[in-house]
Amino acid sequence: MYKRIKREDIYKGRIIDVKRDTVLLPNGRETTRELVLHCDACGMVAVDDEGMIILVRQYRYPVGLEMPEIPAGLVEPGETPEACALRELEEETSYKAEHIEHMTSFHTSAGFSNEVLHVYLCTGLKKGNMKLDDDEILTYERHSLEDIKKMIFSGEITDSKTIIGILMYNEMLNNGR
């Protein structure tokens, strides 16, 4: 078992904190580990009554690309992941979901971050009100599952939550769910 001996605050930001821990390894040696602390997040595979999937397209500054993705957002303090998913879906796409089902949760990059991303299937979509944050610039579009799978396998979609969510949804359909 790893034992933390000391923790240093390296950076405190709006959505991440960076820490450096001094750690005692099971073999008795000391080492350091750098970690990014991040709140949980949610991604939604939103499927309309025609079987079309809603993607958002937005510029992602860290990678310098406009990326097609499933809608997603950060879980606010005191909020459940399911409530976050419903809120963020409406804020980013203007759609409200009548039905929501948890598909999976995963660590986005366990080698350096504690972030957990929860993926939901959202169906029974009805128009609501888009409410983008002041720093969000995005559009939404509808695609067939087959088109999105082609976008994944061609490398056009590289976002992990989108790939995981879409492939989970595809597997659910293949198993008659």
Catalytic residue IDs:
136
In whole angstroms, what separates CA 86 from the centre of its chain?
A: 13
**Alpha carbon distance 86, 72 (integer Å):** 10
Here the tokens at position 107 are 């660590």
Here the tokens at position 166 are 């879409």
Three-state DSSP class for residue 82: helix
Q: What are phi and psi of 155, to 5 degrees?
A: 90, 5
Closest CA to 159 of 70, 89, 84, 81: 70
How far, CA to CA in Å, does 147 sit from each of 143, 164, 167?
Answer: 6, 16, 13
